[in-house]
Structure 1
Amino acid sequence: MKHRVNVLGVGVTQLSLPGAAPDVVALASEASRLALADAGINHEQVKSAYAGFAGGNLQRGCGVQGMDLIDMPGVSAMTLGCATAAFSLGRQVIESGSADCVLVIGAEALEANAEELDSAFAGRLPALSKAHTLGNEPLAQQILAGAAREYIERHGASTESFASVALKAHRHASRNSQALHAQRITLDDVLDSEALIDPLTRLQSSQHVNGAAAVILCSDAFLSKIGDNRPVRIVAQAIGREPLGATGDSFTWASGHELNAATARQAYEQAGFGPEEIDVCELDDTTSASELLAYEALGFCPEGGAGKFIADGGNTYGGAVVINPSGGALAGGNARGATPLAQCAELVRQLRGSAGERQVEGARTALQQCIGLSGASLVTIYQCD
C-alpha cells in the first residue's frame, strides 16, 4: 500500500554570490534548522535524511559520512549526486512506509567553475556535437540559445517574447526579500543588456549563486501524531531521464524539451487531472528560453502558443497560472544544488497562504518542474486540503 506523502516543513537560506557564502556544511545546517523550525519538530523525530549537491561540492558532498553535515549524528543519512535524486528518494521512503518522517537537503557552494559541470554534461550529447559546432560560452547558454533560435524559426516568435519572460521574473522578484536581483526593469533594459548568444542577453540568463534549501516530508500517521492541521500533500511526482545513447540532434532536444513534456504527462496521469487545474508553478528558468519552452512542455499553452500566452499575461498574476512567483533563477539567483527544494518551499508557502506580498490568491494546486545534474526531469504536483 502506498502512503500519502506530506510536506511538513521548509527552509531556504539567503542566497549569495560565489565566494561570499559560508561553507557548504554551514549552509546545509542552516537550511535544515529552518525546515525543522517550520515543521515544529526536533531532529530526534526525523528517521532519515537525504542530501544532494551541485557545483564544486558535488564530489566532496558524495563523500560525507553520517549526518555530521547537519549535526544530527543519530540520523540515518545518504548523500546523492543532486537534490533532484534526494527529493525523489525521500518521497519514496515515506510512500513505501519505510519511515514516517525524513529530511531532504539541497546545497550549492561554488568552489569550482561551472564549466566543470558543463564538460561532464557535454559528454552526453555526442549527436549534438556532431551536428553543431559549439563555441566557448557556457554549455547551458549555448544549448538554450540554440533552442530559442529553433523556436523562432519554427513558430515565427519574436525576441521580445523571450525578453518578456525575464521582465516578468524581475517583477515577481520585487516582492521577494530573498531574491538577489529584485529591482524592477523595463523590456528595453532586457533587450539592451549585454549580448550573450543570439537571441539571449545577460538579463535573460540566470547567475550561479550559493545557497541551500531543506524540506521535511512525513506520512499522514506522523501528521496525526503531532496534530498538524496545515498539510500540503504531494499528489504526483514523476521523474524521467533520456536513455543513455539517445541520439537527438537538435538544441531543442538537448534542452530536455521532449523529456519535460513526457515527464509532465506522467505526473498529470498520476494526479488524475491536467494543466488546467494548476494555480501556481515554479519551473526551470536557467534562461528565458528554458522557461518559455516549459510553458508548452507542461501543457499551459499549445505548441507554438507561448508568445500569445505571454502577451496575454497568462504566466503572471491574474492569468491562467502564476509562473515563478519567487522570481525564479532569472531574478532570484540560480543555486543549482538547492533549486528543487527551494521550488518546493515556495509552492508550499503559496498553498499554505503564507507567501506574503507574492501570494497567489486562492492557490490550491501547484506544479514544480526542474532538471537535475544527471539529465533527469522532475515534475511534482502538490495540493492543499
Structure 2
Amino acid sequence: MSEKVLVGGVGMIPFSKPGASPSYTDMGAEATRRALADAAIDYGMVQQAYVGYVYGDSTCGQTALYEVGLTGIPIVNVNNNCSTGSSALYLARQAVALGDADCVLALGFEQMQAGALKSHWGDRPVTRARFQPIMRELTADVSDLPQALRTFGGAGREHMLKYGTRMETFAAIRTKASRHAANNPLALFRNVLTTEDVMNDKVMWPGVMTRLMACPPTCGAAAALIVSEKFAKKHGLRTDVQIVAQSMTTDPVESFDPPSLISYAGFHMAKAAAQKVYEKAGVDPRDVRVCELHDCFAHNELLSYEALGLCGIGEGEKFVMDGDNTYGGRVVTNPSGGLLSKGHPLDATGLAQCYELTHQLRGTAGQRQVEGVKLALQHNLGLGGACVVTLYAKN
C-alpha cells in the first residue's frame, strides 16, 4: 500500500550571481538547516537523503550534508540536468510512498560559473549526441549561438511561424516574471521591467529573442523534507501539504521524429508527464490555479502552457495577452518570478519550485499569495532528457 506523502518542511536561500555566492557546501548546508527549522526537527531524524547537482565532483552531496551532521544515513547523488532537483524530490517521494522511510531529505544546489552552459568534458560524446544533428540542421542559420539558446529560441521561432506568435508576447512573459519576482525576497532580480525594456535589450537572435528572455546563470540551494503522514502526526510536523501525484518521463520517439524543435525542447515529455499526473489525481488542468513551470527561456514558458494543458495547442499567445497567466487570470504561473527573474541554479530549481508551492498551499506566500489555492502544479524540465511534473494539494 502507498503511504500518504507530505511536505514536512522546506528551506531555500537567496539566489545570487556566479562569483557572489557562498560555496556549494555552505549553500547546501544552509538550505538543509532552513528546511529542518521549518519542520522543527533535528537532522538526526532524517533517514535518507537525495542530493542533486550538475556541476560538481562525485559525492558533493555528502560534502554538503556532512556540514549538517554525520549520522551515517544513505546519501544518494542525483544528476538529471536541469530537472535534477525534482528528480531528487521524485526519489524522496518514492521512498516514503513505498514505506522504505518516513522522513527523507531532498536537496538541490548549484555553484555555477558565468556564461552559457557548457560541457566540462572534451574527450567523450556529449549528451543527446545522436540527436543533436536535428537541432543543428533546424538552426543552421544561427550556428554561432549557444546550444541552449538555439534549442529553446528555435522552438519559439517554430511556434511563431506555425501560429503567428509575436516576439512581443515572449517579452510580455518576461515582464510578468519581473512583476512577480518583485515580491520575492529570495529572487535574484527584483526590478520590474516593461515590455519595452525587454524588447530593447541586447538582441541575441534577431526577431526571436533578446537577452532578457533567457534565464541567468545563478547560484543557490533549496531543500524539502518529505515525510509520511504517520511521522508528521507523531512528531508534530505540519500536515497541510500533500504530494498527490507525480510523474517522471524521458524522451519518446516523438521528441525527434518528425524533426521539430518544439518536440526536441521537451514538449512531448512534459505533455505525457502532465497527463499521467492529472489521470492519477483525477483532476483536470482547469482545476489548477497556481503553477511553477520551467521558464528557462520565455519561449519555453509559452510552450509549457500548451504542453501542460493550461491552454490549447497554438493558444499560448492568447493565454498571455488575456492575462490568464498572472493574478486575476486563470492560473498564476511562476508567482516566485520563475527561472527568468528568481534565477536558475540548475539543481536548486526543482526544490525552489517546491518551496514556493508549499508556501502557496500553506497560505504563507505573503504578497505573492494566490487566493483560494487547493491544487498546485510543478513542471521541471531537463534536456537529455527528463521531465518531472508534480501535483500538490492542500491536505
User: TM-score under structure 2 normalisation?
Assistant: 0.92
Map 1:101-140 to 2 at 5 A. Answer: 101-111=103-113, 114-116=117-119, 120-123=126-129, 125-129=131-135, 131-132=137-138, 133=140, 135-140=143-148
1:8 aligns with 2:8: yes
Map 1:274-313 to 2 at 5 A. Answer: 274-313=284-323
Partner of 1:191: 199
| Deviation, structure 1 residue 246 | 6.2
| Deviation, structure 1 residue 117 | 7.0
Runs of at least 5 residues in structure 1 that lack an aligned partner in the other structure:
none
Partner SS for 2:51: strand
| Deviation, structure 1 residue 152 | 0.8
Contact 1:18 1:109 in 2 (8 A): yes
Runs of at least 5 residues in structure 2 that lack an aligned partner in the other structure:
none
Q: How many residues end up aligned between the 2 structures?
A: 383
Partner SS for 1:213: strand
Partner SS for 2:126: helix
- Tell me which moved more, 251-260 or 71-80: 71-80
Partner of 1:212: 221
Partner of 1:340: 350
Q: Tell me the alpha carbon deviations over residues 45-93 of structure 1, each in whole angstroms, 9 at most, x when there is no partner.
A: 1111110102x32x34468479525434332211121323211111100
1:156 aligns with 2:159: no
* Gap change, CA 1:252 and 1:245, over 3 Å in 2: closer
* Gap change, CA 1:52 and 1:23, over 3 Å in 2: same
Partner of 2:244: 235
Partner of 2:38: 38
Give 2:93's match in structure 1, choosing from 91, 107, 114: 91
- CA distance in 1 between counterparts of 2:49 and 2:213 reads 35
- CA distance in 2 between counterparts of 1:122 and 1:193 reads 31
Give 1:74's match in structure 2, choosing from 65, 72, 75: 72
Partner SS for 1:178: coil
- CA distance in 1 between counterparts of 2:155 and 2:382 reads 19
| Deviation, structure 1 residue 194 | 0.5
Partner SS for 1:120: coil
* Gap change, CA 1:107 and 1:90, over 3 Å in 2: same
- Output the aligned Cα RMSD: 2.1
| Deviation, structure 1 residue 140 | 1.3
Partner of 2:212: 203
- CA distance in 1 between counterparts of 2:293 and 2:215 reads 13
| Deviation, structure 1 residue 146 | 0.6
1:384 aligns with 2:358: no
Partner SS for 2:263: helix
Partner SS for 1:295: helix
Partner of 1:273: 283
- CA distance in 1 between counterparts of 2:151 and 2:120 reads 14
* Gap change, CA 1:238 and 1:155, over 3 Å in 2: same
- CA distance in 2 between counterparts of 1:30 and 1:63 reads 13
- Tell me which moved more, 66-75 or 291-300: 66-75
* Gap change, CA 1:187 and 1:67, over 3 Å in 2: closer
Partner of 2:331: 321
- CA distance in 2 between counterparts of 1:371 and 1:296 reads 15
Give, as a single letter, the amino acid of the residue that structure 2 aligns with 1:222.
Answer: F
- CA distance in 1 between counterparts of 2:295 and 2:202 reads 18
Q: Tell me the alpha carbon deviations over residues 269-294 of structure 1, each in whole angstroms, 9 at most, x when there is no partner.
A: 11111111111100000010000000
* Gap change, CA 1:268 and 1:200, over 3 Å in 2: same
1:166 aligns with 2:174: yes
Give, as a single letter, the amino acid of the residue that structure 2 aligns with 1:383.
Answer: A
- CA distance in 2 between counterparts of 1:292 and 1:53 reads 26
| Deviation, structure 1 residue 223 | 1.3
% same residue: 39
| Deviation, structure 1 residue 243 | 4.8
- CA distance in 2 between counterparts of 1:69 and 1:87 reads 21
- CA distance in 2 between counterparts of 1:246 and 1:162 reads 23
- CA distance in 2 between counterparts of 1:124 and 1:87 reads 29
| Deviation, structure 1 residue 347 | 0.1
Moved over 4 A (4+): 61-67, 243-246
Q: Tell me the alpha carbon deviations over residues 107-165 of structure 1, each in whole angstroms, 9 at most, x when there is no partner.
A: 00025862117983452524414633262322111111111111011111111111110
- CA distance in 2 between counterparts of 1:356 and 1:321 reads 18
- CA distance in 1 between counterparts of 2:78 and 2:268 reads 26
- CA distance in 1 between counterparts of 2:352 and 2:262 reads 26
- CA distance in 2 between counterparts of 1:83 and 1:72 reads 23
Q: Tell me the alpha carbon deviations over residues 295-340 of structure 1, each in whole angstroms, 9 at most, x when there is no partner.
A: 0101111111111111111000011000000001111111111001
Give, as a single letter, the amino acid of the residue that structure 2 aligns with 1:169.
Answer: A
- CA distance in 1 between counterparts of 2:383 and 2:73 reads 26
- Tell me which moved more, 282-291 or 80-89: 80-89
